[in-house]
Amino acid sequence: MDILITGGAGFLGQHLCHYFVDRGDRVICYDNLITGRRENLQGLFEADNFKLVEQDVTEYIDLENLSGKFAGFAVDRVLHFASLASPRDYTEFPIKTLKVGGMGTHQTLGVAKRYGARFLLASTSEVYGDPEVNPQSEQYWGNVNPLGVRGVYDESKRFAEALTMAYHRAHGVETRIARIFNTYGPGMRVNDGRVVPNFVCQALSGRDLTVYGDGTQTRSFCFVSDLVRGLVSLLESSSTEPVNIGNPAEITINQFAEEVIQLTGSNSGIVYKPLPEDDPQVRRPDITRARRQLNWEPEVTLHEGLAQTVPYFKRLIEDSNC
Ligand code: UDP
């Protein structure tokens, strides 16, 4: 297949690029490299079936008249993964976040419509905001503060979902929407500000782990290989409704800190910092729909996933990036 992946140099995008290139598909990756990194694509540049275009996806995407190995690129699939995904990043780049979720989604849906491609939107558990129900099923409409600092991300993704459904209904584009819950694994940036890189790097370098708030808030962490498997199943399924993809094993941030300290054998303690504005108090996916429609569920436990993630961060720290 011929596949366009936006945000392909980011944390999730890189895993998708590797997956499809290994499968023998032709992959064109668009990334403006604001938070994506070339290093994430190591090993792909030599491949005949991979190409990176360094461009912001809010600008016109031109896939006509490609030459050489990409001649006649048919655009069978469009995977829209470009976004600022870490709270730290979307707080720093609020307008870019709204633009990539709004204009970038419009642009990439336009590409899918033009070429008759199937479109997959990387949406998020943030569409549920600070949820009043736990776990969250796809039927829940959410509790989002549109004016808060997180609103730029939440609303951009909610708009992206609405636009995706509109292109499906009005133009007949084959669309898929993945609501992705907290995902971790090798390929994350050391300094992206999210809890997994923060805690693991703090523990590995003997610094105290920074728990925001009182640490009673919960998250449910999915290992990246499980997530990629879920996304591929969704892409090849017939589900046009949004589908939660995540691991329902829910823990408090305090428990998570303890787990990281134990697994790394660190002497680090825990220090408490203020809770960021609108930080969701609970988050846990109801994956009934994914189980039924995709026959998918996560297989990697937090313990196993962290055991694969810690050595990755250890290497980065040794290269003194942390
Ligand atoms: N968090 C924390 N310490 C950190 C980074 C994050 O306690 O150094 C908390 C954060 O307040 C949130 C949870 O960990 O409750 C997950 O945060 P993350 O930024 O990973 O993603 P979110 O799920 O909020 O989008």
The response to whether residue 260 sits with its C-beta less than 6 Å from ligand 1 reads no
pLDDT of residue 319: 84
Beta strand 218-220 with 250-252 is antiparallel
Peptide bond into 94 cis (omega under 30): no
The response to whether residue 212 sits with its C-beta less than 6 Å from ligand 1 reads yes
CA 184 to ligand 1 centroid distance, Å: 12
In percent, the amount of the chain with pLDDT more than 90 equals 97
Confidence of residue 321 (pLDDT cuts 50, 70, 90): very low
Angle CA 264–267–272, to nearest 5 = 100
Domain boundaries defined on the chain: 2-183+222-245, 185-219+249-283+300-319
The response to whether residue 257 sits with its C-beta less than 6 Å from ligand 1 reads no
C-alpha 233/C-alpha 227 separation (Å) is 10
Beta strand 270-273 with 77-80 is unpaired
Index of the ligand 1 atom closest to the CA of residue 87: 19
Structure-token pair, residue 181? 């819950």
The top-level CATH class assigned to 185-219+249-283+300-319 is alpha beta
153 is catalytic: yes
pLDDT at 64 over 60: yes
The response to whether residue 210 sits with its C-beta less than 6 Å from ligand 1 reads yes
Index of the ligand 1 atom closest to the CA of residue 86: 19
- The pLDDT tens digits for 112-134 are 999 999 999 999 999 999 999 99
Work out the number of other CB atoms within 10 angstroms of the CB of residue 280. Answer: 18
- The pLDDT tens digits for 66-77 are 999 999 999 999
CA 127 to ligand 1 centroid distance, Å: 16
- The pLDDT tens digits for 201-224 are 999 999 999 999 999 999 999 999
The response to whether residue 145 sits with its C-beta less than 6 Å from ligand 1 reads no
**Contact by Cβ (8 Å): 234, 120:** yes
Average pLDDT on 238-250 reads: 98
Q: Which CATH number applies to 2-183+222-245: 3.40.50.720, 3.40.50.300, 3.30.70.930, 3.40.50.1010?
A: 3.40.50.720
Mean pLDDT rounded to a whole number for the chain: 97
Residue 218 β-bridge partners = 252
CA 165 to ligand 1 centroid distance, Å: 30
Index of the ligand 1 atom closest to the CA of residue 196: 20
